């Protein structure tokens, strides 16, 4: 990766994405502080995607959420991808949802993401993550934060996160239905 690649990532205007994420009704209700922190981590995620284009990824929940909101602005996302990668960066949100072997792959991918992050940035991968977010990366399956338990979360599965000491849940029926869907197929590999 060269300095021009890093500048392309730094030059991305992600303010509209943060505004949407901070919106209480149509976004996630994030604070500006949280949105700024996750924007920083999202830029690092993009850097890793540029640096390691053949690696599958399992970003932390908040980074994945930021990515989803970026993708929702389809025109901006397409232009930003072209500026950074020279092609559209596709997202496959179903890893870990198609059975036990796939779940094991999800955990391996999460651990690899942690390794790449820590090797590249010489910082702890989860230093800014709420413990519930760690589960998404495949690093851990069940953790507690401030007395709030949250179960394993996957992108592509609706998960309810806990607040005020109420345990988070994930609907087994939803997961079973997702695993049976023909929509969940192998990740297509597109040439760069």
Residue with the bigger pLDDT between 4 and 155: it is 4
Show me where the domains of the chain are located.
3-129
pLDDT of amino acid 42: 98
pLDDT at 184 over 70: no
pLDDT of amino acid 44: 96
Query: 99-149: per-residue pLDDT in tens?
Result: 787 788 888 888 999 999 999 999 998 865 544 444 444 443 333 233 333
Query: 140-172: per-residue pLDDT in tens?
Result: 333 323 333 333 333 333 333 333 333 333 334
Confidence class of residue 66 from pLDDT cuts 50, 70 and 90? very high
pLDDT of amino acid 106: 82
pLDDT of amino acid 145: 30
pLDDT of amino acid 3: 83
Query: 23-65: per-residue pLDDT in tens?
Result: 999 999 999 999 999 999 999 999 999 999 999 888 999 999 9
pLDDT at 11 over 50: yes
Query: Against a cut of 0.75, is the pTM above it?
Result: no
Spatial distance between the Cα atoms of 139 and 172, rounded to a whole number of angstroms = 21
Compute CA distances 116 → 6, 19, 173, whole Å. Answer: 17, 29, 34
Q: For the residues of the chain, what is the DSSP string, one character each? A: --HHHHHHHHH---HHHHHHHH-TTTS----HHHHHHHHHHHHHHHHHHHH-TT------HHHHHHHHHHHHSHHHHHHHHHHHHSS-----TTTT-S-HHHHHHHHHHHHHHHHHHHHHHSS-TTTTS-HHHHGGGTS-S-EEETTEEE----TTS-EEPP-TTPPPEE-HHHHHHHHH-TT--PPP----
pLDDT of amino acid 76: 98
pLDDT at 188 over 60: no
pLDDT of amino acid 183: 37
């Amino acid at each position: 990766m060269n300095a021009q690649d890093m500048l392309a990532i730094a030059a991305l205007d992600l303010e509209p994405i943060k505004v949407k994420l901070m919106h209480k009704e149509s976004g996630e209700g994030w604070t500006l502080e949280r949105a700024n922190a996750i924007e920083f981590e999202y830029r690092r995620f993009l850097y890793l995607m540029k640096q390691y284009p053949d690696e599958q990824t399992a970003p932390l929940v908040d980074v994945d959420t930021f990515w989803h909101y970026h993708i929702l602005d389809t025109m901006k996302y397409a232009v930003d991808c072209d500026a950074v990668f020279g092609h559209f960066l596709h997202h496959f949100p179903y890893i870990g949802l198609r059975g036990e072997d796939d779940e094991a792959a999800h955990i391996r991918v999460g651990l690899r993401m942690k390794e790449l992050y820590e090797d590249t940035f010489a910082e702890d991968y989860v230093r800014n993550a709420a413990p519930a977010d760690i589960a998404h990366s495949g690093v851990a399956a069940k953790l507690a934060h401030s007395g709030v338990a949250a179960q394993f979360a996957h992108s592509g599965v609706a998960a309810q996160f806990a607040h005020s000491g109420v345990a988070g849940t994930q609907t087994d029926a939803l997961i079973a239905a997702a695993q049976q869907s023909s929509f969940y197929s192998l990740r297509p590999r597109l040439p760069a």
